[in-house]
């Protein structure tokens, strides 16, 4: 008999398995339909011996000290600040758009103060930025929006930015200084020996049993357990009873090249041409030295594994209906797919840790209740 059956061995499932086993001494069965742990953060050494991310580039960043400290129990880190260039008008310029981007693109020599005025002169007046188009056009105007955001977003989501929530494009800010880092979080680092090694350490506990290559539907009736934690797609859990929640997928094309270096930074975005959105060269992320190099192209698709919930009002409404059903069960729904949220890894860790706190307080309440029941008889 297991105390918890956890479906999905990504960040959400693994953090909960670790906490429940180590802190609460619970017996956990962690299962995944894939042949590995780590969920979408899984990495491995390819045939050439280069560490690559099977589901696209994953860069860890957070502002939360507790989350960084929590994960630091299972890995050492390599400091890494991700930098991205966008290929626009035949040039490779920094994205997020910054002072260097504008000066290079337009052959100017603006100061930060002058750039603020430049943006103000281009910005459109929009009172309430509701969509991804609004949020960009309101900050930097239509021309830059069209060069950097419109094409990329249409490729990535197969939707116009005007059909997506503001939160999507708002992930990429605009700067008037020369800071060319993709993220500005306090903690930016990569697990020194990779994500998979970090997960292995996290899950190395006698109370945790791991079953791979198994869809939970195949074994749910064979296993005895107290409570379930589900981290797969919430609509799948409820047999799509209200219809499918839309997800966006990607096809990854990996290449290993017989040269030490391919491009000038970790990722290059291609907003306007080609069917792919970006190319990432893994050695920048991992710091590995090798005479060859491996890169990955990301081609957005509708079909395939569900990678991205699609943040727009219709989908949020549909998700709310599933959430209402979820609230009527005693299963815990955690993670990017189970709560239909466009979350980064640190946000999923935060959600899993707060679910753990909730489980702990429910347990405390239950044992107090049981004690009272016993004492009253
Ligand atoms: P997942 O990792 O998806 O884990 C869910 C697991 O459940 C999967 O392994 C799946 O196989 C399993 N499962 C589903 N259904 C079943 C079933 N029926 N039976 C058994 N198992 C099942 N975040 C960052 O912070 N930085 C980044 O740079 C970054 N880059 C990203 C790039 C890409 C291309 C993508 C797609 C995501 C990126 N993310 C990034 C987000 C990050 O991947 C997620 O936040 C995180 O991995 C989500 O963890 P999770 O446990 O919620 O879900
Ligand atoms: N985006 C864009 N141009 C870019 C980079 C991002 O239009 O050069 C938009 C696009 O809609 C993208 C979103 O901003 O999906 C979020 O970008 P991010 O790099 O955070 O995407 P992720 O790494 O999650 O795929």
Instruction: Give the closest residue to 215 by CA, choosing from 6, 7, 3, 4.
Output: 7
Residue 86 region, left (φ>0) first, then alpha (ψ -120 to 50), else beta?
Answer: beta
Residue 371, pLDDT score: 67
Is residue 8 lining ligand 1, measured as CB closer than 6 Å?
Answer: yes
The token duo for 59 is 């860069």
Q: Is the CB of 97 under 6 A from ligand 1?
A: no
pLDDT of residue 113: 98
Centre of ligand 2 from the C-alpha of residue 182, in Å: 11
Strands 51-53 and 43-45, how do they pair?
Answer: antiparallel
Ligand with minimal distance to 145 CA? 2
pTM for the predicted model, two decimal places:
0.97
Smallest CA separation from ligand 1 atom 14, residue: 232
Residue extents of the structural domains in the chain? 1-37+203-242+310-377, 84-169
Pocket test for ligand 1, best of 7, 16, 39 (most atoms within 8 A of CB): 39
CA atoms of 345 and 342, how far apart (whole Å)? 10
Q: Does the C-beta of 297 come closer than 6 Å to ligand 1?
A: no
Considering every ligand atom shown, identify the ligand nearest to the alpha carbon of residue 57 and give its number: 1
Pocket test for ligand 1, best of 8, 168, 183, 284 (most atoms within 8 A of CB): 8
Ligand whose nearest atom lies closest to the CA of 285:
1
Ligand 1 pocket check for 218: Cβ under 6 Å: no
Q: Atom 7 (ligand 2): residue with closest C-alpha?
A: 149
Cβ-based neighbour number of residue 273 at 10 Å: 10
Residue bearing tokens 């929590």: 70
Ligand 2 pocket test, pick from 85, 145, 153 with the greatest ligand atom count within 8 Å of Cβ, gives 153
| SS3 of the chain | CEEEEEECCCHHHHHHHHHHHHCCCCCEEEECCCCCCCHHHCEEECCCCCEEECCCCCCEEECCHHHHHHHHCCCCEEECCCEEEEEECCEEEEECCCHHHHHHHHCCCCCHHHHHHHHHHHCCCCCCCCEHHHHHHHHHCHHHHHHHHHHHHHHHHCCCHHHCEHHHHCCCCCCCCCCCECCCCCEEEEECCCHHHHHHHHCCCCCEEEECCCCHHHHCCCCCEEEEEECCCHHHHCCCCCCCCCEEEEEEEEEEECCCCCCCCCEEECCCCCCCCEEEEHHHHHCCCCCCEEEEEEEEECCCCCCEECCCHHHHHHHHHHHHHHHCCCCEECCCCCCCCCCCHHHHHHHHHHHHHHHHHHHHHHHHHHHHHHHHC
169 lines ligand 2 (CB under 6 A): yes
Choosing from 13, 38, 58, 168 the residue with most ligand 1 atoms within 8 A of its CB, the one to mutate for a pocket test is 58
- What is the total residue count of the chain? 377
Q: CA 22, CA 206: separation in Å to the nearest integer? A: 9
Q: Pick the residue whose CA is nearest to atom 2 on ligand 1.
A: 39
Residue nearest to atom 9 of ligand 1 (CA): 39
pLDDT at 168: 98
Q: Do the Cβ atoms of 141 and 124 come closer than 8 Å?
A: yes
How many Å separate Cα 97 from the centre of its chain?
22
The reply to whether ligand 1 has any atom less than 6 angstroms from the CB of 203 is no
Contact of 290 with 322, CB cutoff 8 Å = no
How would CATH label the architecture of 1-37+203-242+310-377?
3-Layer(aba) Sandwich (3.40)
pLDDT tens for the 377 residues of the chain, in order:
999 999 999 999 999 999 999 999 999 999 999 999 999 999 999 999 999 999 999 999 999 999 999 999 999 999 999 999 999 999 999 999 999 999 999 999 999 999 999 999 999 999 999 999 999 999 999 999 999 999 999 999 999 999 999 999 999 999 999 999 999 999 999 999 999 999 999 999 999 999 999 999 999 999 999 999 999 999 999 999 999 999 999 999 999 999 999 999 999 999 999 999 999 999 999 999 999 999 999 999 999 999 999 999 999 999 999 999 999 999 999 999 999 999 999 999 999 999 999 999 987 767 766 766 656 65
């Amino acid at each position: 008999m297991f105390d918890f059956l956890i479906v999905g061995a990504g960040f959400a499932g693994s953090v909960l398995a670790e906490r429940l086993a180590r802190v609460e001494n619970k017996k956990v069965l962690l299962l995944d339909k894939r042949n590995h742990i780590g969920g979408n953060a899984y990495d491995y050494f390819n045939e050439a011996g280069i560490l690559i991310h099977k589901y696209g580039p994953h860069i860890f960043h957070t502002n939360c000290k507790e989350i960084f400290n929590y994960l630091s129990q299972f890995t050492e880190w390599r400091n890494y600040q991700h930098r991205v260039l966008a290929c626009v008008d035949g040039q490779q310029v920094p994205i997020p758009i910054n002072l260097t981007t504008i000066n290079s693109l337009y052959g100017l020599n603006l100061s930060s103060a002058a750039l603020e005025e430049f943006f103000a002169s281009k910005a459109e007046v929009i009172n309430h930025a509701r969509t991804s188009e609004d949020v960009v056009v309101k900050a930097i105007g239509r021309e830059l929006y069209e060069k950097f955001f419109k094409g990329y977003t249409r490729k990535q989501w197969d939707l116009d930015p005007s059909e997506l929530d503001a939160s999507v494009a708002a992930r990429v800010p605009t700067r008037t200084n020369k800071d060319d880092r993709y993220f500005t979080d306090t903690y930016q680092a990569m697990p020194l020996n990779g994500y998979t090694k970090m997960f292995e350490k996290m899950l190395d506990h006698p109370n945790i049993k791991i079953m791979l290559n198994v869809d939970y539907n195949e074994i749910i009736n064979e296993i005895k357990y107290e409570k379930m934690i589900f981290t797969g797609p919430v609509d799948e859990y409820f047999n799509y009873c209200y219809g499918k929640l839309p997800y966006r997928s990607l096809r990854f094309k990996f290449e290993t090249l017989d040269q030490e270096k391919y491009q000038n930074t970790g990722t290059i975005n291609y907003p306007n041409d080609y069917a792919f959105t970006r190319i990432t060269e893994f050695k920048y992320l991992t710091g590995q030295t090798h005479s060859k190099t491996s890169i990955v192209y990301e081609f957005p698709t509708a079909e395939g594994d569900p990678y991205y919930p699609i943040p727009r009002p219709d989908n949020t409404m549909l998700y709310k209906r599933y959430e209402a059903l979820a609230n009527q069960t005693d299963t815990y729904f955690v993670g990017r797919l189970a709560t239909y949220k466009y979350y980064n890894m640190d946000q999923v860790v935060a959600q899993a840790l707060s679910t753990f706190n909730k489980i702990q307080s429910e347990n405390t309440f239950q044992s107090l209740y049981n004690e009272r029941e016993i004492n009253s008889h």
